[in-house]
Chains A and B, each alone.
Chain A
Amino acid sequence: MAQSLKRSLALWWCVIMFCLGGLLLIEAWASAKRSADQALDGQLEAASLAIAEAIQWPDGKPMLEMPASALQILATRWQERVFYQLIGAQGESITSNVQLPITSRMRTQIKKAPVFANIKLQGSSLRLHGREVSSAGWETQEPVEVWVAHTTEGREALAQTLVGGTLTRIAMTMLITGLILVFVMRAWLMPIRRLRQVLRGRKLDDYSALHVDVPSELRELTDTLDHLLERQDQHREALLRFIADASHQLRTPLAGLQNTSELALGSADPERWRQALETICQASGRTSRLAAQLLNLARLRHQVSQADLESINLSALVRESLMEWADRQQARGHDLGAELPETDIWLKGEAWSLHELIGNLIDNALRYTPEGTFITAGISRTADGITLWVEDNGPCTETDPQRWIAPFERAGLQGTEGSGLGLAIVASIAERHGAELRLSTCEPQGLRVCVQFPQGGADDQA
Chain B
Amino acid sequence: MIRREPLAGQHSHCRSALARCVRRALLPLLLAVFGGAAHSETLIIEGALDRDVFEPVLALFQRNNPDITLDYRDRSTLMADTFARTAKSAPDVVISSAMPWQMALSNEGFAQRVDTEETRQWPAWAKWREELFGFTFEPIVMAYRLDLAAAMKPPSTHQDLLDLLLNHREELQGKVVTYSPLNSGIGDMLSQQDARYTPKMWDLVAAMGQVGVHESARSKEMLEGLSSGKYWLAYNILGSYAMVWAQNHPEVVVQVPNDYSLVMMRTAFVHREAEHPQAAYRFVGFLLSQEGQSVMAGETPLFSVRPDVVGPYTAQRLRDEVGDHLYPIPLNASLLAFVDPLRRAAFLKRWQETITPEP
Q: How far is the CB of B119 from chain A (nearest CB, A)?
A: 14
B332 and A63 contact, CB distance less than 8 A: no
A216 at the interface (CB under 8 A from B): no
User: A98 and B108: CB pair below 8 A?
Assistant: yes
CB distance from A126 to the nearest CB of B (A): 12
Closest to B350 in A: A65
Chain A residues within an 8 Å CB radius of B346:
63, 65
Q: Which of B196, B333, B339, B342 contacts A82 (CB 8 A)?
A: B333
Interface string of A95-120 (1 = CB under 8 A from B): 11110000000000000000000000
Among A68, A81, A96, the residue within 8 A (CB) of B334 is: A68
Judging by beta carbons under 8 Å apart, are B337 and A64 in contact?
Answer: no
Are A74 and B343 in contact, CB atoms less than 8 angstroms apart?
A: no
User: CB distance A66 to B340 under 8 Å?
Assistant: yes
Which residues of A sit under 8 angstroms from B333, Cβ to Cβ? 71-72, 74-75, 79, 82
Residues from 69 to 99 in A contacting B, C-beta threshold 8 Å: 69-72, 74-75, 79, 81-83, 86, 94-98
**Which chain B positions have C-beta within 8 A of A96?**
341
Least CB distance from A452 to B in Å reads 99
Residue-wise, chain B 328-359 has the 8 Å CB interface mask toward A (1 for contact) of 00001111111111110010000000000000
- Determine the distance from Cα of A79 to Cα of B129 in the docked complex, in whole angstroms: 6
Q: A65-B346, A81-B109, A124-B109 are in contact. Are A97 and B332 (CB under 8 A)?
A: no
Tell me the A116-141 residues at the B interface (CB within 8 Å).
Answer: 122, 124
Q: Does B70 contact A (CB under 8 A)?
A: no
Q: Is B107 close to A, CB under 8 A?
A: yes
Other-chain contact of A81, B107, B332, B338, B341 (Cβ < 8 Å): B107
Distance between Cα atoms of A272 and B336 in the complex (Å): 145
> Taking the nearest CB of chain B, how far is it from the CB of A153, in angstroms?
9
**CA of A71 to CA of B334 in the docked complex: distance in angstroms?**
5
CA distance in complex: A337, B335 (Å):
132
Do residues A97 and B334 form an inter-chain contact, with CB atoms below 8 A? no
Contact A67 B336, beta carbon cutoff 8 Å: no
B104 within 8 A of A: yes
Contact at B107–A64, with CB atoms within 8 Å?
A: no
Q: How far is the CA of A97 from the CA of B343 in the complex (A)?
A: 11
Distance in angstroms between the alpha carbons of A79 and B337 in the assembled complex? 15
Counting CB contacts under 8 A, is B122 at the interface? no
The reply to whether B343 and A82 form a contact with Cβ atoms under 8 Å apart is: no
Docked Cα-Cα span, A124 to B112, in Å, equals 13
Task: Given the known inter-chain contacts A72-B332, A81-B109, A98-B108, please indicate yes or no for A66 contacting B343, CB distance below 8 A.
Answer: yes
- Within 34-75 of A, Cβ neighbours of B (below 8 Å) are at 63-72, 74-75
A83 to B339, CA, bound (A): 12
**Judging by beta carbons under 8 Å apart, are A71 and B337 in contact?**
yes
A45 to chain B, nearest CB (A): 17
**Residues of B close to A95: CB separation below 8 A:** 340-343
Across-interface contacts of B334 in A (CB, < 8 A): 68-69, 71-72
Mark out the residues of chain B between 243 and 280 whose CB falls within 8 Å of any chain A CB in the assembled complex: none
B53 nearest CB across to chain A (Å): 30
In the complex, B128 has a CB within 8 A of chain A:
yes
User: Which of B108, B332, B336 lies at the interface centre, i.e. has the most chain A CB atoms within 10 A of its CB?
Assistant: B336
Contact B337 A67 (CB under 8 A): yes
B192's nearest neighbour on chain A, judged by CB, is A68
Which residue in B104, B108, B342 is a CB contact (below 8 Å) of A66? B342
B contact residues around A69 at 8 Å (CB): 334
Residues in A with CB closer than 8 Å to B108 are 81, 97-98
Given A71-B334, A75-B333, A64 contacting B343 (CB threshold 8 A): yes
CB closest residue in chain A, given B347: A65
Contact of A97 with B339 at beta-carbon distance under 8 Å, contacts A65-B346, A74-B333 already known: yes
B339 to chain A, nearest CB (A): 7
**Closest B residue, CB atoms, query A122:** B109
Asked if B342 and A79 make an inter-chain contact with CB atoms under 8 angstroms apart, the answer reads no
**Chain A: minimal CB distance from B38 (Å):** 36
Contacts of A65 in B (CB 8 A): 342-343, 346
A208 to B13 Cα, complex, angstroms: 94
Q: Nearest Cβ in chain B — how far from A88, in angstroms?
A: 12
Q: Are B107 and A82 in contact (CB under 8 A)?
A: yes
CB–CB A82/B336 < 8 A: yes
Query: Nearest B residue to A123 by beta-carbon distance?
Result: B109
Q: How far is the CB of A337 from chain B (nearest CB, A)?
A: 116
Which residues of B lie under 8 Å from residue A74 when comparing CB positions? 333
Q: For A64, list chain B residues within 8 Å (CB).
A: 340, 342-343
CB-based contact B109/A97 at 8 Å = no
Tell me the bound Cα distance from A65 to B346 in angstroms: 8
User: Are B342 and A97 touching (Cβ within 8 A)?
Assistant: no
Chain A residues, Cβ within 8 Å of B109: 81, 122, 124
Q: How far is the CB of B50 from chain A (nearest CB, A)?
A: 29
Set of chain B residues within 8 Å of A70, measured between Cβ atoms = 337
Q: In whole angstroms, how far apart are the Cα atoms of A374 and B333 in the complex?
A: 129
Bound-state CA distance A66–B347 (Å) is 11
**Cβ of A124: which chain B residues have Cβ within 8 Å of it?**
109
How distant is the Cα of A455 from the Cα of B337 in the complex, in angstroms? 108
In the complex, residue of chain A having the shortest beta-carbon distance to the beta carbon of B124: A79
Q: Identify the closest chain A residue to B104 (Cβ).
A: A97
B196:A97 contact, CB within 8 angstroms: no
Query: Which A residue's beta carbon lies closest to that of B342?
Result: A95
A66 and B334 alpha carbons, distance in the complex (Å): 9
With A64-B343, A82-B107, A122-B109 already in contact, the answer to whether A97 and B336 are too (CB < 8 A) is yes
How many Å from the CB of B231 to the closest CB on chain A?
Answer: 32
A79 near B196 with CB under 8 A, answer no
**Interchain nearest-CB distance for A75 vs B (Å):** 3
- Chain B residues within an 8 Å CB radius of A72: 332-334
Measured CB to CB, the nearest residue on chain B to A94 is B342
In whole angstroms, how far apart are the Cα atoms of A124 and B332 in the complex?
A: 20
CB atoms of B340 and A97 under 8 A apart: yes
CB distance from B81 to the nearest CB of A (A): 14
- Verify B336–A71 contact, CB threshold 8 A: yes
Q: In the assembled complex, how far is the CB of residue A29 from the closest CB belonging to chain B, in whole angstroms?
A: 25
A58 to B341, CA, bound (A): 17
User: Closest CB of chain A to B20's CB: distance in Å?
Assistant: 53
A146 to B109, CA, bound (A): 22
Whether B337 lies near A66 (C-beta < 8 A) is yes
A67 to B104, CA, bound (A): 15
Cβ < 8 Å to A, chain B residues 89-145: 104, 106-109, 128-129
Closest 10 CB pairs of A and B: A75-B333, A68-B334, A95-B342, A66-B340, A68-B337, A66-B337, A66-B343, A71-B333, A72-B334, A79-B129
A68-B196, A68-B337, A70-B337 given; name 20 further pairs at CB < 8 Å: A63-B342, A64-B340, A64-B342, A66-B342, A67-B337, A68-B336, A68-B338, A71-B337, A72-B333, A72-B334, A75-B332, A75-B333, A79-B332, A79-B333, A81-B107, A81-B109, A83-B107, A86-B342, A97-B108, A122-B109
Chosen A-B contacts, 22 in total, with CB atoms closer than 8 Å, are A65-B343, A65-B346, A66-B336, A66-B342, A68-B196, A68-B335, A69-B334, A71-B337, A72-B333, A72-B334, A75-B332, A79-B128, A79-B129, A81-B129, A86-B342, A94-B342, A95-B342, A95-B343, A96-B341, A97-B104, A97-B108, A98-B108
Binding site for B on A (CB under 8 A): 63-72, 74-75, 79, 81-83, 86, 94-98, 122, 124
